[in-house]
Amino acid sequence: MEFSFSGNLVDVHLREIYAARISVFQGKIASIDRTPNPVNATAGFIMPGFVDSHIHIESSMLLPCEFAKVAVNHGTVATVSDPHEIANVCGLDGVELMLRNASKTKFKFCFGAPACVPATVFETAGAKLDAGETAKLLSDPRIGYLSEMMDFPGVLNDDPEVAAKIKAALDLGKPVDGHAPGLRGDQAAKYIAAGITTDHECFTREEAIDKINAGCKIAIREGSAARNFDALQTLIDEHPDACMLCSDDKHPDELLLGHINKLVARAVAAGSDLMNVLTVACVNPVNHYELGVGLLRVGDPADFIVVDNLSSFNVAATYLDGELVSENGQSLLTVPKPETVNKFAATPFDAQQLAIKAESSNIRVMEAIDGQLITNGLTRPCRIEDGMAIADVENDILKIVVCNRYAAAEPSVAFVTGFGLKSGAIASSVAHDSHNIVAVGTNDDDLAAAINAVIEQQGGLSVSKSGTTDVLPLPVAGLMSTGSCREVGEKYGVLNQKVKAMGTTLGAPYMTLSFMALLVIPSLKISDKGLFDVDLFDFVPLFV
């Protein structure tokens, strides 16, 4: 296929914008010729496509091909994708499903080998990948890097299993992603010196600077739950060669509205230099991960986008290997027939199984924070009725439950604040990182109903109130739907609105819920085995 067209070329390498004629032959850029014409804003701007430098495709609740179909409408041409979520549920079978599905689209996925399956030994997961299995996966040419090394204590303490995984990646010349929230100073330097090359967990500029100074690249994250862009945005101009942009987790309703293009527009509106922004959003991930993605140079794959302006970055067209894959917001990518894989053995719950006998008048309470993965650990008075500790709705102290999805077992029950529900309950089988069932509610009957709806569907999101329950099924590992982004996004939006009508002020209540069992993010979390203090890295009793 051969074609050419003219427009305003945004040359990030030369840091210039000029009128040019670009020729494409057999999927590659054959020539770029400057023309004597002045830059004409009405002619559109040709520029490299956007790259999400760290994302879990599973969190979109879509299979890779369906994710790609929507992402190209926003000018995204590639992602650096960690299949950690499905690996924790289904092991290598889950990773293979993602690779097979992704191979059926022109979109450029770079999948990693999950580094921490399970994430910790303090929760029940569906699989375990040891150093040998991780090394074998890394040797697969379809795998581009070692995914986020969440076990930063293992790195700092020279754990031999952790060290073996990192060495396997480095021996193959593949980068190692980091995950070390809050780590600073000498500890951050030691962690990075072990071979870690990126981190997407920074939530303060000071933390990011420490890691950059130690030789690490920072992926500035703005997802559906964790929103760190405002805190880190100044790094784009301060350290343009050491930053990338990522979403980490992107729910389908937000994906319909935008992706990395929204962050690019925000950065430019905030005053960041355009070429620095595009370096961060387009160039750095391609170079760091050695992606097979073109950057508008002669000989490169013809991967690029055309936008109508350099402020809102409305995408008029997206090309992959010289093929038009999106035009004026309409994707031209096709989606194959989906396949599923799952692991679900939980049995229905009775409300009485969620009862807690009061052992004292004070309890530990998790505090959920809107827009953050971190939680606080608080001590609060316990509301007691008939000798049982119950939810205190007036003071926003609700019950939180985690149920083992891989076997019939008694649930783990504690308390949480920050959700703001005045009635009902919500539940989800998307619960990072082991993806047991997590639920929050105002009373045991609605909690049991919400949990049982997820069990009945073998995975999904649910909301229950006064005997009425609604559910979004997620049949692929309890994480993803087989439907379209619009179908899933609309159903997800309906659930979100029902939850907000029940009183929550959280921007993304289900996404926030999904991180309440994430034991590698401070400070107080809960697993199917109990209440967990991340700072102590050990279980703690509910009653104080």
Report pLDDT digits (tens) over 147-193.
999 999 999 999 999 999 999 999 999 999 999 999 999 999 999 99
User: Tens digit of pLDDT for each residue in 451-468?
Assistant: 999 999 999 999 999 999
Residue % of the chain over a pLDDT of 70: 100
Q: What is the pLDDT of residue 224?
A: 78
Are 393 and 255 contained in the same domain?
A: no
Q: What is the mean pLDDT of residues 45-54?
A: 98
Are 281 and 423 contained in the same domain?
A: no
Q: What is the mean pLDDT of the chain?
A: 96
β partners of residue 245: 220
User: Tens digit of pLDDT for each residue in 476-518?
Assistant: 999 999 999 999 999 999 999 999 999 999 988 998 999 999 9
Q: What is the pLDDT of residue 288?
A: 98
Tell me the pTM: 0.94
| Cβ contacts of 225 within 8 Å, gap of 6 or more | 249, 371, 372, 373, 508, 511, 512, 514, 515
β partners of residue 389: 356, 384
Are 118 and 228 contained in the same domain?
A: yes
CATH code of the domain containing 233: 3.20.20.140
Are 120 and 253 contained in the same domain?
A: yes
3-state secondary structure of 108: strand
Domain coverage including residue 512: 351-539
Are 379 and 506 contained in the same domain?
A: yes
pLDDT band for 1, please (50, 70, 90 cuts): low
Are 371 and 268 contained in the same domain?
A: no
Q: What is the pLDDT of residue 414?
A: 98
| Cβ contacts of 333 within 8 Å, gap of 6 or more | 65, 68, 69, 72, 105, 106, 107, 325, 326
User: Tens digit of pLDDT for each residue in 125-151?
Assistant: 999 999 999 999 999 999 999 999 999
Single residue among 271, 288, 305 that ends a domain in this structure: 288
Q: What is the pLDDT of residue 372?
A: 84
Q: Which amino acid is at 202?
A: C
| Cβ contacts of 16 within 8 Å, gap of 6 or more | none
Residue predicted with more confidence, 447 or 41: 447
User: Tens digit of pLDDT for each residue in 427-445?
Assistant: 999 999 999 999 999 999 9
Number of domains in the chain: 2
pLDDT over 90 (residue 2): no
pLDDT over 90 (residue 40): no
Q: 58 phi and psi, to 5 degrees?
A: -55, -30
Residue 314 falls inside a structural domain: no
d(C-alpha 12, C-alpha 265), whole Å: 16
